[in-house]
């Protein structure tokens, strides 16, 4: 419960304690500590966009801002900056 109150995610708690993710999620939800959506500020979203334009990787942006790579990708896609890797396509 302490980790949940400190804001740790269910995923992190389950990995650190060796517990099933669904069990941890259910217990956190029962105690009002369920999943919360962390909204990014406009400044953070702009920082993601500018960092990517400078060539910074999605991983390093996420690590620096302490957010998930999925959240970085989500905001880049919304701004039209993420392109598919092109894997499986023939070179032109």
DSSP string, 38-62: -PPPHHHHHHHHHHHHTT--HHHHH
Check residue 24 and give its pLDDT: 87
pLDDT tens, position by position, 80-91 = 886 655 444 444
Instruction: Give yes or no for residue 43 having a pLDDT over 50.
Output: yes
Q: Is the separation of the CB atoms in 22 and 11 below 8 Å? A: no
> How high is the mean pLDDT of the chain?
83
Q: How far apart are the first and last CA of the chain?
A: 55
Check residue 60 and give its pLDDT: 96
Backbone angles phi, psi at 64, to 5 degrees: -65, -40
Please give the model's pTM, rounded to 2 decimal places. 0.53
pLDDT tens, position by position, 49-91 = 999 999 999 999 999 998 889 999 999 999 888 665 544 444 4
């Amino acid at each position: 419960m302490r980790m949940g109150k400190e804001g740790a995610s269910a995923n992190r708690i389950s990995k650190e304690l060796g517990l099933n993710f669904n069990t941890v999620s259910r217990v956190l939800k029962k105690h009002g500590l369920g999943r919360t959506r962390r909204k990014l500020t406009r400044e953070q979203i702009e920082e993601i966009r500018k960092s990517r334009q400078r060539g910074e990787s999605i991983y390093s942006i996420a690590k620096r801002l302490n957010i998930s790579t999925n959240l970085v990708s989500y905001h880049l896609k919304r701004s039209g900056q993420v392109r598919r890797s092109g894997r499986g396509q023939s070179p032109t």
